[in-house]
């Protein structure tokens, strides 16, 4: 019986360590940047969608920027250059390696796919893309 205890206790400790590590991986933050404007109907729809998505994926961090603020426009320009896009309107969304302009059902699907991808893989903070 003593030999069995010596085996079972370490086995359970190792098992719980692996469960803890797997759980931590799922909870790493996924960072999304949203650039929007007041009065933009597509922006309003995306904000509602992202609010619901945040409930489904609590590790999703949404950083939103109103483009009526000059500093937000400068950040949008910097990020657009890094992603090699030329947005002509809003909303503009950055997540992982994706930059999305506009909002539709297709865009919503692409955003959720990117969230899932970033939960399972390493995605850099879009702010630091070079």
> What tens digit of pLDDT does each residue of 13-35 get?
554 544 444 454 456 899 999 99
Domain of 115 in residue numbering reads as 29-128
Residues 83-93 have pLDDT tens digits of 999 999 999 99
* Nearest of 49, 64, 56, 33 to residue 107 by alpha carbon: 49
Residues 36-85 have pLDDT tens digits of 999 999 999 999 999 999 999 999 999 999 999 999 999 999 999 999 99
Domain CATH code at residue 112: 3.40.30.10
Residues 102-115 have pLDDT tens digits of 999 999 999 999 99
In a domain, 61, yes or no: yes
In a domain, 105, yes or no: yes
In a domain, 1, yes or no: no
Q: Give the separation between CA 19 and CA 47, rounded to whole angstroms.
A: 34
Count of domains for the chain: 1
In a domain, 118, yes or no: yes
Give the count of alpha carbons within 13 A of 128, CB side only. Answer: 4
């Amino acid at each position: 019986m003593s030999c069995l205890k010596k085996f079972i206790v370490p086995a359970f400790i190792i098992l719980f360590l692996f469960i803890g590590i797997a759980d931590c991986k799922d909870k790493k933050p996924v960072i999304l940047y949203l650039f929007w404007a007041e009065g933009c109907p597509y922006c309003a729809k995306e904000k509602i969608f992202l609010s619901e998505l945040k409930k489904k994926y609590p590790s999703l961090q949404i950083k939103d920027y109103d483009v009526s603020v000059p500093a937000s426009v400068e950040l949008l320009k910097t990020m657009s250059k890094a992603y090699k896009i030329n947005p002509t309107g809003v909303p503009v969304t950055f997540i992982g390696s994706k930059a999305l302009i506009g909002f539709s059902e297709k865009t919503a699907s692409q955003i959720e796919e990117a969230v899932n991808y970033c939960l399972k893989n390493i995605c850099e903070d879009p702010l630091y893309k070079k």
